[in-house]
Amino acid sequence: MSTASSAAAPRTPVGAIAIVGALFFIFGFVTWLNGPLISFAKLAFNVDDKLAFLIPSAFYLSYFFLALPSSAILRKTGMKKGMALGLFAMAIGAAVFGQFTTGRVYAGAVTGVFVIGAGLAILQTASNPYISILGPIEGAAQRIAIMGICNKLAGMLAPLAMGALVMHGLDDFSARVAAADAVGKEQLLNDFAARVHDPYMAMAGLLALLAVGILFSPLPELRAEDVNADSGSGAGRTSIFQYPHVWLGALCIFVYVACEVMAGDAIGTYGAGFNLPLDQTRFFTSFTLGAMLVGYLTGLVLIPRVISQERWLAVSAVLGVLLTVGAYVTHGMASVACVAALGFANAMMWPAIFPLAIQGLGRFTERGSALLIMGISGGAVVPQLFVHLKDTLDFQLVFLLLMVPCYLYILFFATRGHNVGR
């Protein structure tokens, strides 16, 4: 199969990459707040692990429900206005979360997280195909790697900012709550929950300002059918169902995001299984993101000069299996280190999967992108399985049984799945 991407795509404009990179920084910061928010919810709302994991579940499920509507919105608004709309929705969600959390209304707080995820569904449905087709599709993994660096730098900062502004002194605070009477406990928890109000209100204002900035930015409008058309055997297809590789890609995104969330957001809960203190586990997400940053930098250098994006995806999947087994056979900080190192294995997966899955979709690019964004719901499903199964089985065994099949499917997509039907 040949594509028209190389011939038809414009030269990649540096200014556009910088603007989209800023967007990836923003939703990286917001996304990777979910890890520390799990620990925050357990304390502020006095809930167990299962209820606390509703935070990432609501966030990632919003992608499943909003991705296809997002593609319909984008067909009317275009990608640029769609990105601005996504930022506005995120601003509303941040304000809702800040207000309801301050009042310790957990259902309202989870709703706020869902709205933030809904805004991100629109933003990601627009920005991921946009950066993929902003230049030749064969080099899309390299461009997405740059986006990933922006994303993970923000992700590394998110737990640190959350720790400094909201979650400082957790071990001492937990002891004070345990020693307080009923009235004192409620007052302590109210004061703790109120810590998020100002940061989230500031975030809401910043997101709204960025939305206005995107509307007046010099980002070019791109037509996917012009720069991502299939000029080979698939030319003339009339339905997204005629592109099986995009459906296999959506499942690959599902299992990949599950692996990313397990290694990033759930690593604190994993570390707590070894009875490590809260003042340590709240920083574990940053370790995973640091490993991801190294992975992105490595991929940026090697792809596509030294190795193709699909071959690097296969290598990453094998490394994921090996590190998961390493986490199972070790204990304590050594096991946590293996989980954090999964960040390196996971780093270049999204940059490789996304362009491979949308290649040659032409006028179906936005719809195919929506299917892939729906796959982000894997970040809701697999961690929930983990948190429920670890009550009856050894948590390290559960981690192994959930993660290895995911990496094996990614290996299949890298070696064969992305070529099915092409």
pLDDT digits (tens, 9 = 90+) for 96-117: 999 999 999 999 999 999 999 9
Residue 395: pLDDT band by 50, 70, 90 thresholds? very high
CA distance 263 to 266: 6
Query: Is residue 172 within a helix (H) or strand (E), and if so which, with residue range?
Result: helix 170-179
Tell whether the model's pLDDT for residue 7 goes beyond 50: no
What 3-state class would DSSP assign to 305? coil
CA distance 120 to 284: 24
Tell whether the model's pLDDT for residue 224 goes beyond 80: no
pLDDT digits (tens, 9 = 90+) for 117-130: 999 999 888 887 78
pLDDT digits (tens, 9 = 90+) for 10-33: 455 778 888 888 888 988 888 888
If one compares 140 and 209, the residue with the highest pLDDT of the two is 209
> Where is average pLDDT lowest: 186-195, 202-211, 355-364?
355-364
Q: How confident is the model at residue 6, as a pLDDT? A: 39
Indicate the pTM of the whole model.
0.78
Average pLDDT value for residue range 247-259: 96
CA distance 239 to 363: 10
Which domains are delineated in the chain?
10-419 (1.20.1250.20)
Query: Which of 53, 154, 155, 69 is CA-nearest to residue 119?
Result: 69
Q: How confident is the model at residue 355, as a pLDDT? A: 85
pLDDT digits (tens, 9 = 90+) for 297-349: 898 888 878 888 889 999 999 999 999 999 999 999 999 999 999 999 999 89
CA distance 45 to 183: 15
Q: Characterize 285-309 residue by residue with b for buried, 16 or more Cβ atoms within 10 angstroms of its Cβ, and e for exposed.
A: bbbbbbbbbebbeebbebbbeeebb
CA distance 134 to 10: 7
CA distance 68 to 71: 5
CA distance 369 to 124: 9
CA distance 399 to 227: 41
Tell whether the model's pLDDT for residue 9 goes beyond 50: no
